[in-house]
Amino acid sequence: KVDKGSKLVDQAGRTMEEIVSSVRNVTSIMSEIAAASIEQSNDIEEVNKAIGDMDEMTQQTAALVEEAAAASESLHDQAEQLSKNVSIFKLAQDNLAARPAIGMRR
């Protein structure tokens, strides 16, 4: 019986060692998961910042496009007004052809 009890104690000791080893493995894996989670969280923060920067740039671009459209419309209106103002001047075609070219003086 003592021999049998001794074997059971040895077996229990090996089982405890296996359990401790398994707990160490689980602890190591959990540490790796925690480190990976922190890294992933940092990467997600970087992505969120990049998206925020892109959103800001998009809003700035939209504002610039709006300003450019307004400037273009204003320029178009001014060009039409200039065309109307210039249209009151009438030059005879004969006068243009008959006038000699003016030379440059030095």
pLDDT of residue 100: 59
Mean pLDDT for 68-83 is: 97
Range of the domain at 8: 2-98
- Domain for residue 103, yes or no? no
CA distances from 70 to 37, 57, 76, 80, 84 (A): 49, 20, 10, 15, 21
- The total domain count for the chain is 1
Residue ranges with strand state E in the chain: none
Q: Residue 91 is which amino acid? A: L
Tell me what pLDDT residue 88 has.
Answer: 87
Per-residue pLDDT band for 90 (boundaries 50, 70, 90) equals confident
Specify if 104 maps to a domain: no
The structure's pTM equals 0.54
Which letter does DSSP use for residue 89 in this model?
-
> What are 8-58's pLDDT values in tens digits?
999 999 999 999 999 999 999 999 999 999 999 999 999 999 999 999 999
The answer to whether residue 40 is domain-embedded is: yes
